[in-house]
Structure 1
């Protein structure tokens, strides 16, 4: 069953088309990776899904029943099948309440707050007490319990009472995933969770991605092709805003259009010292989108 879908999703910035008429669906039990060279439209696509950007054309819909109010009504389709909620014009907080959460390329945590508080605040924001700011935080026991459970899951339980700024870069990426997990989203968008992570921490991040994908629909942007090929159920390739391939890892890897636009002869294990596939890194131009 699908939990997220787009139809004709398009975003233009003046004369530049960043996302071009994209039809996409994500299943509830799927880990789908979104790949492509820098400027392909990956981050713009994420921004359109979450409501950070308004599309020029097209729609974004979430499966009905995935969270709180978004300003639209849940509609059940004939025959008892799942209905859909149009969140095309919904703001960030509304899509989040509907169960669509994301992490970001750049680490985005509260540095002076404890690791536990970062997750507790996120859990409260997705609960019913988000505007009760003057109560003692110790009275929010359910959110503290949720935060502790999440930190245990992402491997940061022993760091719970430390300021987030004291974490290593890899641990901060783990914390970001923990923050995104708060509120138990239906769909999790992970934007380059391995960016800047040392080679010693990559295995921890991979294990976390695979664990999270066990009970969430995950859409992953990642430049490390060995990781993408190993963890993905499905890969979608964007180039100049258009989908040029969509399928299982093996078929995408061997697709001539993908080889020409992005992979450039990639073979499993073709990693440089930074953990990126050499041909893909060259195609990217070495930057971020």
Structure 2
């Protein structure tokens, strides 16, 4: 569905993304991990047209074959079926939850430029928005303003907005960022659900989540790919352990989060 060849982004003397060859298959949930500054968000920005590559190509698969989108603008990339959510929540705070998704659905359609027509004329977009809200678990919040939602619900709304227009490829940039421990399971279920009918590229720092939901993991370090494969293979890779995981064991992050919530030390088990 999506592939890059030799993708490189340089900022002066700094190479943020370094000669990356990558391919995301239809129906695949691939996680992109790495230490802070590894180039993950820059890679997302290149894929979605926010940044222009220094070198290399980006292609999306279309009905007629692979289509070069290296120089596409964010608007063009979105219209071609490449949507993303953002690390920092990005919604219209004073609009209703329904309106946030309805606007996204309209923008992704041929009605995107029809700014002066009454919203009542866009029944199809309203119906699409309600169906998406039902899917992400926000149907009961449809008439609430976005700024009244909890942080976790705002992250769900971000995913809902990204789903508007039924994209082929969905890029999720840390959908669990800042989410309380009780909301994490809900977000995980949402990620797994949208991956059933979309190709998903996920940036996530919680390794318990990454190891549990991913079909495949790609690891960036200093802008370059240092590992690419199934979760268990990546987890045991010495280069990945040294660069990022540092002795990570399955469940360790969840145990730490639960201990912090309970006010206990994860090793000692006492307050």
Q: TM-score range by the shorter chain?
A: over 0.9
Please report how far the alpha carbon of residue 155 of structure 1 lies from its aligned counterpart in structure 2 after TM superposition: 0.2
Give the corresponding residue for 1:18: 16
Give unmatched runs, 5+ long, in structure 1. Answer: 66-75, 77-82, 277-289
Write the distance in 1 (CA, Å) between the matches of 2:14 and 2:138: 42
Please report how far the alpha carbon of residue 15 of structure 1 lies from its aligned counterpart in structure 2 after TM superposition: 0.3
Give unmatched runs, 5+ long, in structure 2. Answer: 261-271
Give the corresponding residue for 1:52: 50
State the TM-score, normalizing by the size of structure 2. Answer: 0.94
Write the distance in 1 (CA, Å) between the matches of 2:113 and 2:71: 24
Secondary structure of the 2:125 match is helix
Change in Cα spacing, 1:6 to 1:275, as seen in structure 2 (3 Å) is: farther
Please report how far the alpha carbon of residue 133 of structure 1 lies from its aligned counterpart in structure 2 after TM superposition: 1.0
Matched, 1:223 2:205: yes
The aligned runs of 1:1-289 (5 Å cut-off) are 3-65=1-63, 76=64, 83-271=65-253, 272-273=256-257
Write the distance in 1 (CA, Å) between the matches of 2:217 and 2:25: 13
Secondary structure of the 2:15 match is strand
Matched pairs, number: 258
Equivalent residues of 1:30, 1:218 under 8 A apart: yes
Write the distance in 2 (CA, Å) between the matches of 1:152 and 1:222: 24
Change in Cα spacing, 1:25 to 1:172, as seen in structure 2 (3 Å) is: same
Please report how far the alpha carbon of residue 267 of structure 1 lies from its aligned counterpart in structure 2 after TM superposition: 0.5
Give the corresponding residue for 1:284: none
Write the distance in 2 (CA, Å) between the matches of 1:146 and 1:273: 36
Please report how far the alpha carbon of residue 273 of structure 1 lies from its aligned counterpart in structure 2 after TM superposition: 2.4
Equivalent residues of 1:199, 1:275 under 8 A apart: no
Write the distance in 2 (CA, Å) between the matches of 1:104 and 1:274: 26
Secondary structure of the 1:244 match is strand
Instruction: Say what the alpha-carbon RMSD is for the aligned residues.
Output: 1.2
State the TM-score, normalizing by the size of structure 1. Answer: 0.88
Secondary structure of the 1:161 match is coil
Structure 1 stretches (4+) deviating beyond 2 angstroms?
272-276
